[in-house]
Structure 1
Amino acid sequence: MYVNADLSRRAVVGPDDYHWVASPQPGVERMMLERFGPEQARATSIVQYAPASLFPPHSHPAGEEILVLSGVFSEVAAHYPAGWYLRNPPGSSHRPSSAGGAVIFVKLRHMMGCEQQSVRIDTNNAVHWREFDGGAVCALYADAAEHVALLRLDGGVSLPHGCPAELLVVHGELRLDGHGYAAGTWMRFPEGDQAEIHAGVPGATLYVRTRGPAAGAAA
């Protein structure tokens, strides 16, 4: 299956576009944002866990990245409420579940093979944030290929460092080329895109991925 697989084109998916697709496990549904092949493929999705749903133990040969958007996401005895960022490196394994239900943003099979460390960051903790004029940044991960951060922007403030590779509107409203986009909107931009991006009047919290460590908003 291929969804938004042409990387030379801008892709925008808003909450009104969501179409939930059943996963191999009962109670777990996915909204596919991008996919580059069959079930075991590089993909980006919003995943919805119904209460008491779970996956059996499984591995991630090319890694997995998660941002918990709502509810509580669990890995056996470890429980991650909304706002936690998780990064499971290539070759890792886990048994995900949710007792009360959860919605998570997930990226699969996009990591570099040399990545080895797991990452667990509670973005609700102020110690992880650094303020700048017009907002704040929470650095999540950086390597030679990508830089990942959460950004909080005050109303009307432009995205620092220009157009990113990818973003998700976590809270608030984003303005792209004069149009407003609500929380839950995912965007991917081709290299060289000149998009004009700033927070709407209520401000915005964004997951942002940029190309290379030096280009990120948290650099």
Structure 2
Amino acid sequence: MNLNLDRSLALAINTTDMAWEESPSKGVFRKKLEREGAESGLTTSVVKYRQGTSFSAHQHPSGEEIFVLEGVFEDEHGKFPKGTYFRNPPGSSHSPKSPEGCELFVKLNQFQAGDSEFVKIETAEQEWLPGLVDGLSVMPLHSFGTEHTALVRWQPGTHFQPHVHAGGEEIFVLDGVFEDEHGTYPKGTWLRSPNYSKHNPFSEQGCIILVKTGYML
């Protein structure tokens, strides 16, 4: 399988329009956004655990990065409620479950060489920092090398200056409506912009987005 792996192409996919596909694990469903192999390699997905679902113990030889969109995810290391961002580095392992059900934004096998930090951030408990323009707030989540991941909150009517994405940019719209000169992107939209692409983003309605930059160099 080779799904959306050409990172020279710009993508905008509204995941709410996609059907859930069954996974090999009972009670676990997914919407595939990027995928290198049928059940291996580079992967970006939205994943749903039905209530009471558990997943067999497994390793992450090349790491996993997750943002909890709904519900509560759990494993032997703790509980991860809605809004939690976490990273399990290469070589880690766990036995995930979700007694009450959950939805996740998941990236597998995409850690940069040398990035071995465990991260767990409950974003509902974190402080927002001022952004570069009025109406914009930022919550840094993780940085390593050229790669930076953060939440960005846009107040209604906020406009940002045109800018270039050195190393590309990836966005998942968590709430509200994000916009630029190329289109309008409601909650649940996943966007990927190539290395050195350019746009002029804004949000008339307001939104919160999960943003990753600098990872395509």
Global fold match (TM > 0.5): yes
Is 2:69–2:105's contact at 8 Å kept on the other side of the alignment? Answer: yes
**Counterpart position of 2:178:** 174
1:210 equivalent in structure 2: 213
Contact 2:16 2:189 in 1 (8 A): no
Using structure 2 for the length normalisation, give the TM-score. Answer: 0.90
What letter is aligned with 1:207?
Answer: L
- Identify the residue that residue 217 of structure 1 maps to in structure 2: none
Counterpart of 1:187 in structure 2: which amino acid? L
**1:62 Cα deviation from its structure 2 partner:** 0.5
Matched, 1:92 2:92: yes
Tell me the equivalent position of 2:200: 196
Go from structure 1 to structure 2 and tell me whether the alpha carbon gap of 1:88 and 1:161 turns closer, same or farther (over 3 Å shift). Answer: farther
Q: Is the Cα–Cα contact under 8 Å of residues 12 and 192 in structure 2 kept in the other structure?
A: yes
Residue 177 of structure 1 aligns with an amino acid whose one-letter code is E
1: distance between equivalents of 2:44 and 2:67? 12
Q: Compared with structure 1, are the counterparts of its residues 147 and 161 closer, same or farther at alpha carbon in structure 2 (3 Å cutoff)?
A: farther
Identity across matched positions, percent: 37
Change in CA separation of 1:75 and 1:160 when aligned onto 2, cut-off 3 Å: farther
Distance, in Å, in 2 between the alignment partners of 1:210 and 1:191 is 9
TM-score (norm 1): 0.90
Residue 28 (1) aligns with residue 39 (2): no
Tell me the residue number matched to 2:147.
146
Give the conservation status (yes or no) of the 8 Å contact 2:162–2:199: no
**Cα RMSD (Å):** 1.7
Query: Aligned partners of 1:159, 1:183: CA distance in 2, in Å?
Result: 19
- Note closer, same or farther for the CA distance 1:161–1:105 as it changes in structure 2 (3 Å cut): farther
| Unaligned stretches of 5+ residues in structure 2 | none
Secondary structure (helix, strand or coil) at the match of 1:3 reads coil
Q: Does the CA contact (< 8 Å) of 2:162 and 2:201 recur in 1?
A: no
Is 2:73 the partner of 1:73?
A: yes
Aligned-residue offset at 1:161: 7.7
Q: 2:130 corresponds to which letter in structure 1?
A: E
Cα distance in structure 2, aligned partners of 1:149 and 1:126: 12
For 1:130, the aligned partner's letter is: L
- Which residue of the partner structure matches residue 56 of structure 1? 56
The count of corresponding residues between Structure 1 and Structure 2 is: 210
CA distance in 2, matches of 1:93, 1:39: 17
Distance 2:32 2:69 in 1: 16
> 1:105 aligns to what SS in structure 2?
strand
Cα offsets for 1:198-219 (capped at 9, x unmatched): 12x320100000106xxxxxxx
